[in-house]
Structure 1
Amino acid sequence: MKKLKDQTLVTALKPALRRSLLLSVSLLALAACSVTPEPIELQEIAQTAVADQSLIAASEEKVTGPLDLSTAVARALKFNLAHRVQIMEAALANKSFELAKMDMLPILAATAGATARDNDNASSSTSVLTRRQSLEPSTSEDRERFNASARFSWNVLDFGISYLQANQEANRYLVAELTREKAMMQLVQQVRTAFWRAAAMQMISGRVDTLLTEANKARADLDRVLNARLRPPLRVLEEMRTLSEIIQQLETMQQSVSAARVDLAALINVPPSQEVKLVAPEALPMPPSPPTDLERQELMALVNSGDYAAQLYNIRIEQLESRKALIRLLPGVELFSAVNFDTNSYLYNQTWAEVGARVNWNIMRLLAYDEIKDLNEGRKQLAVARRLATNMAVITRLRLSHETYLSALERLRRTRDIDSIDSEIRRLTLQAAASSATSGIAGVQSEVRALRSTVANLLAYADAQNAYGLYMVSLGLSVAPEDYQSKSVEDLAGLVKAAFTKWEAGDFGELPQIEAAVQK
């Protein structure tokens, strides 16, 4: 009798099972076919590019007058797009830190649900002694019911791990700030280099254009002389070749002028097509001599180095990671309380509250204690090794930048001497040309040689400024306060100029405090 009843029940359930299986397979098939690659259309790319260009133009502050170095640096700090990305990355690290702090809070979870079925959730019982049905089929649940609960729980182990994780994120945020500051110093250095190269090219652009016009005119005159056979062809061809080389050199100089302007425009977020006049003294002063007490400079470089400080923060992070690994070996204690509600009419109490505690401990994890201890020791040794390597790298960078700066100053002195000699040769050649003692091409050659010497002198000055800037970067010196983004370009330019003036006077600010710290 019971077997027949079971077969009848299975037969009744088969259509429902078939429908459920068919529905599940259909849903899976639809899910598998619903995802297809969607390449971005060229029109969409073009529209995005145009919109981005509009955003870039809107973020620019128009240049209304000549730019000096301090203003160029201020504009770069305010408007350089790559630097803005660094600022956003630091802000994102701060958000991660704030989010990690939220993980320390207890969990308050609210749940609600409704169920409905087409028949009763009934069951019967069988005696384990006689194997006979002991009760008629009965139910204790409504066909349609609604339930809800609010559960407050706090896991002590998770709280400890979240606390350590929040401390790690705090240190990562500080590392991100150091990275942003390092990027800022590198940006200032790039602007310094591009500014002086552009200024050098600006100083000689007029002479280049004039000489190029004269050289092209002389070349045209030689073409007429050659066609008319007024002079020996071999002599004329040799002069034409010389002039062609001169024209090639002058055109290369013109290209350098344009490239230097484009580089600077990109750094200060100015359209490359916009003409920007740079302010630089006609008589370029020699850059300042570097300090001779390198031991004090090494200590300053280490104290100011973002890379070295980042390694100290990384040691903190690794120590916290080691503590997290050890804490995970402990049992987890969870405290909880909840309030519940259920519309089931069979319940005697449809609302109730509960409190409790639960302990969970993976005892097998204790077997990994020795491995965890060795791993933590390895982390510690690696962090210390990285710190020592960074210490040496900072000192090496300082020493190399110091030597590079000294060499750049020496090259600048040599090029100034050569420029002075070639300028005198040019003056004498022009005097001779005025008295018709020399040919026109000799005058052009003398002009070009003098121009090449002037260009070499100006580029050597730009290289010396670049080496000086690299030396300041190796010392970890920053030109702007922490709140520089809130300042106007004019105010920020004043702060940058004041910092440059202090450095050129040999006043690096932090040395007395460092000496006092060492003596203590």
Structure 2
Amino acid sequence: MYRLAGSIHGIEMMVGVTKIKSRKVLILICGALLSGCAVAPKPLTSEQLVTQWVADSNDMFKDAEKLDSKLTFASAVARTLNYNLDKEAKSIEEALAFKRMDLSSMDELPNFVASAGYVMRDKKLASSSQDLATGSSGSPSFSMDQENGTADLGLTWNVLDFGLSYYQSKTAADRALIAVERRRKAEHELIAQVRSTYWRAVAYQTLHGQIKSVLAEAQNALSASKAVESENVKSPTEALRYQKSLLETMRQMRAVEQQLSTAPYELAALINVKPSTKFKLAAPDRLVVPHWTMPAERMTAIAFENNPDIHEQAYLSRIASNDSHSELIKALPGVGLAANLNYDSNSFMVDNYWADIGPRLSWNLIKFAHLPKIQKTSKLNEEAVKARRLAVRMAVLAQVYIAERRFKDSVDMYKQADSLYRVDSRLSWVLNQQAAADAAGDLERISAKASAIASQLRRFETYAQMQKAYGRLQQTLGRDLLPAKSFDGKNSIDSLTDTVEARLIQWDKGDKDADFKVVAAAVKSLPRNKDAMTVSTAATAKTAATAKTAVLASKANDLTTDLSRNILLAKADK
């Protein structure tokens, strides 16, 4: 008897030890799995960075047409709008927003879900029942196989989820339109940068050779002055003053060159060509000042209608309204309908296939109890969005007057710089014709040349500032240089350049009611020199004026962003 009890006790101890060891093994296995799931930082290797650099370098310039002719301002704008990487990123973000809008509309559809499962037990799922009156229990029984498979195909639709999905789709549509406005704003900013950078690059191309010539003459005169000083032909004071004047002139010329030397690289980045690319700019024979006589009231109306910032705030107001409706719907009861086709492989079941259908009602009473607070929060949110919208509208209103004032001031500055340049140029020419052979004559002639170059620099700088101010004015008004349909990926740079050229003529002449298609056709019909892709400004303006005369009496609409915006709004409504 004692032996039997001891044997049982030994078995229990062995089982207990085995359970303890099993737990330890299980803990060790779980610890190993958790440590294996931990992620450690892994910096990129030099080989990976080089591979990525090579791939990105190829992708950066692979789609750009070769620049094998002189670059006009219109072609620089066309290349910027077509190839600039910042603009390309905004376009992709816009396309992504519309794809998300399409995906969000799918949430309005019912859920149609298929599922399957498999269960395997090591023991039968047996159970016994106890009689409530007598307390006796029968033999254990089971009604499920040890291996069992299930499958079902269900269709569920909830009115509450449909309402939420509807307003979420409207929000996604508005966010897609916000992406459009941000792309437009990026285009306006890029065009304003091209306006300034292009003319600075033209100034560098024009003045670079002249600066080198003046520096060479000044260096020769400086060497000659030092030789005269060493021979004691003149007094040291006079020679040193002369050398100081020459060195000051050389410093001035190098400062001019340094100020302009980065412009070609900045322009290369805007038009998306390699900075090492050598290209020539088609400098016009004369610099044209845009004609602008639009009254402030008309500019304000155009800005309020077309400015991207105002559009974005308007869409944000609609999003706030949609959010308010969504929060209200969440507090309402949800009515749903579910229909399922089911299968169970359990051999004990009489019918392994069956279908069920039924409605379901759910209501978050806590959410409903907080409905007054939710409504107050939603109303406050709409008021905050409205306040931001009014602040932006006020900023745009002020910017209209500021941009016009800066443009007019820049025009006055350019005219003054142009007059000074003409005087300095004539003075330099006269002194060059009357130059004497002595050192003093050389100093006066070199100083006059340097002064003429500095005046020409100021002329180009003020013209670039005037063009930038004019671009900011157009940017404030929200006027798109090209219709949205111009970016269909099928137009060549030449055709896009013609469209830009026609639009620039329309703007520079202050002709907001001209027939854009007729002007574009007139520009496209002009002869194009393949070696020097330049369009005569005078001939273009004359042809455009002739085309304008042929336009019918009814005014054509100003082809701004209204066309593209209406198309996008119609697409969003669908």
Query: What residue is the counterpart of 1:303 in the other structure?
Result: 305
Deviation at 1:135, TM superposition (A): 2.0
Between the aligned partners of 1:44 and 1:225, the Cα distance in structure 2 is 63
Is residue 444 of structure 1 aligned with residue 446 of structure 2?
A: yes
Is residue 62 of structure 1 aligned with residue 50 of structure 2?
A: no
Is residue 83 of structure 1 aligned with residue 91 of structure 2?
A: no
Query: What residue is the counterpart of 1:413 in the other structure?
Result: 415
Larger displacement relative to structure 2 (11-20 or 226-235): 11-20
Between the aligned partners of 1:500 and 1:11, the Cα distance in structure 2 is 95
Give the TM-score of the pair, scaled to structure 1: 0.91
Query: What residue is the counterpart of 1:137 in the other structure?
Result: 140
Aligned partner of 1:489 among 476, 489, 493: 493
* Partner SS, residue 109 of structure 1: strand
Q: Is the alpha carbon distance of 1:101 and 1:292 closer, same or farther for their aligned partners in structure 2, counting shifts above 3 Å? A: closer
* Contact 1:193–1:466 under 8 Å retained in 2: yes
* Partner SS, residue 59 of structure 1: coil
- Listed one character per residue, the Cα deviations across residues 100-150 of structure 1 (whole Å, up to 9, x for unaligned) are 011111111111111212221111223445544x12111111111211111
Deviation at 1:290, TM superposition (A): 2.3
Q: Counterpart of 1:78 in structure 2: which amino acid?
A: N
Is residue 267 of structure 1 aligned with residue 270 of structure 2?
A: yes
Between the aligned partners of 1:435 and 1:418, the Cα distance in structure 2 is 28
Between the aligned partners of 2:367 and 2:25, the Cα distance in structure 1 is 44
Between the aligned partners of 1:235 and 1:400, the Cα distance in structure 2 is 51
* Contact 1:74–1:493 under 8 Å retained in 2: yes
Is residue 40 of structure 1 aligned with residue 44 of structure 2?
A: yes
Between the aligned partners of 1:470 and 1:228, the Cα distance in structure 2 is 60
Is residue 52 of structure 1 aligned with residue 56 of structure 2?
A: yes
* Partner SS, residue 103 of structure 1: helix
Between the aligned partners of 1:185 and 1:36, the Cα distance in structure 2 is 44
**Structure 1 residues 71-110: aligned runs within 5 Å:** 71-110=75-114
Q: Counterpart of 1:209 in structure 2: which amino acid?
A: K
Query: What residue is the counterpart of 2:325 in the other structure?
Result: 323
Deviation at 1:476, TM superposition (A): 1.2
Larger displacement relative to structure 2 (374-383 or 297-306): 374-383
Q: Counterpart of 1:478 in structure 2: which amino acid?
A: D
Q: Counterpart of 1:425 in structure 2: which amino acid?
A: L
* Partner SS, residue 147 of structure 1: strand
Aligned partner of 1:469 among 468, 471, 476: 471
Deviation at 1:206, TM superposition (A): 1.6
Query: What residue is the counterpart of 1:118 in the other structure?
Result: 122
* Partner SS, residue 111 of structure 1: strand
* Contact 1:432–1:438 under 8 Å retained in 2: no
Q: Is the alpha carbon distance of 1:465 and 1:24 closer, same or farther for their aligned partners in structure 2, counting shifts above 3 Å? A: same
Query: What residue is the counterpart of 1:232 in the other structure?
Result: 235
* Contact 1:150–1:340 under 8 Å retained in 2: yes
Between the aligned partners of 1:20 and 1:266, the Cα distance in structure 2 is 65
* Partner SS, residue 358 of structure 2: strand
Query: What residue is the counterpart of 1:171 in the other structure?
Result: 174
Q: Is the alpha carbon distance of 1:512 and 1:277 closer, same or farther for their aligned partners in structure 2, counting shifts above 3 Å? A: closer
* Partner SS, residue 108 of structure 2: coil
Deviation at 1:14, TM superposition (A): 9.1
Deviation at 1:363, TM superposition (A): 1.3
Between the aligned partners of 2:115 and 2:505, the Cα distance in structure 1 is 65
Q: Is the alpha carbon distance of 1:386 and 1:84 closer, same or farther for their aligned partners in structure 2, counting shifts above 3 Å? A: same
* Partner SS, residue 336 of structure 1: strand
Is residue 284 of structure 1 aligned with residue 284 of structure 2?
A: no
Between the aligned partners of 1:86 and 1:28, the Cα distance in structure 2 is 47
Deviation at 1:229, TM superposition (A): 3.7
Query: What residue is the counterpart of 1:353 in the other structure?
Result: 355
Q: Counterpart of 1:252 in structure 2: which amino acid?
A: A
Query: What residue is the counterpart of 2:207 in the other structure?
Result: 204
Query: What is the root-mean-square deviation of aligned Cα atoms in Å?
Result: 2.4
* Contact 1:154–1:336 under 8 Å retained in 2: yes
* Contact 2:291–2:509 under 8 Å retained in 1: no
- Listed one character per residue, the Cα deviations across residues 381-411 of structure 1 (whole Å, up to 9, x for unaligned) are 1222222112111111111110001110111
Aligned partner of 2:222 among 216, 219, 229: 219
Q: Is the alpha carbon distance of 1:140 and 1:91 closer, same or farther for their aligned partners in structure 2, counting shifts above 3 Å? A: same
* Partner SS, residue 371 of structure 1: helix
Q: Counterpart of 1:356 in structure 2: which amino acid?
A: G
Q: Is the alpha carbon distance of 1:195 and 1:10 closer, same or farther for their aligned partners in structure 2, counting shifts above 3 Å? A: farther
* Contact 2:150–2:344 under 8 Å retained in 1: yes
* Partner SS, residue 262 of structure 2: helix
Sequence identity (%): 32
Deviation at 1:324, TM superposition (A): 0.6
Aligned partner of 1:458 among 460, 467, 470: 460
Q: Is the alpha carbon distance of 1:32 and 1:131 closer, same or farther for their aligned partners in structure 2, counting shifts above 3 Å? A: farther
Deviation at 1:420, TM superposition (A): 2.2
Deviation at 1:248, TM superposition (A): 2.2
* Partner SS, residue 480 of structure 1: coil
Larger displacement relative to structure 2 (268-277 or 165-174): 268-277
Deviation at 1:292, TM superposition (A): 4.8
Q: Is the alpha carbon distance of 1:373 and 1:427 closer, same or farther for their aligned partners in structure 2, counting shifts above 3 Å? A: same
- Listed one character per residue, the Cα deviations across residues 148-170 of structure 1 (whole Å, up to 9, x for unaligned) are 11111111100110011001101
Q: Counterpart of 1:83 in structure 2: which amino acid?
A: K
* Partner SS, residue 124 of structure 2: coil
* Partner SS, residue 433 of structure 1: coil
Deviation at 1:18, TM superposition (A): 6.4
* Partner SS, residue 341 of structure 1: strand
Query: What residue is the counterpart of 1:367 in the other structure?
Result: 369
- Listed one character per residue, the Cα deviations across residues 62-99 of structure 1 (whole Å, up to 9, x for unaligned) are 10100111111111111111110000010111111011
* Contact 2:256–2:454 under 8 Å retained in 1: no
Query: What residue is the counterpart of 1:402 in the other structure?
Result: 404
* Partner SS, residue 483 of structure 1: helix
* Contact 2:343–2:352 under 8 Å retained in 1: yes
- Listed one character per residue, the Cα deviations across residues 198-247 of structure 1 (whole Å, up to 9, x for unaligned) are 11222212211111111222222233333444432332222222222222
Q: Which stretches in structure 2 are left out of the alignment for 5+ residues?
A: 1-10, 515-554, 559-574
Between the aligned partners of 1:493 and 1:10, the Cα distance in structure 2 is 92
Deviation at 1:512, TM superposition (A): 8.7
* Contact 2:108–2:162 under 8 Å retained in 1: yes
Deviation at 1:305, TM superposition (A): 0.9
* Partner SS, residue 41 of structure 2: coil
Between the aligned partners of 1:466 and 1:59, the Cα distance in structure 2 is 28
* Contact 2:435–2:442 under 8 Å retained in 1: yes
Aligned partner of 2:380 among 364, 378, 383: 378
Query: What residue is the counterpart of 1:390 in the other structure?
Result: 392
Larger displacement relative to structure 2 (394-403 or 485-494): 485-494
Q: Which stretches in structure 1 are left out of the alignment for 5+ residues?
A: 1-7, 515-520
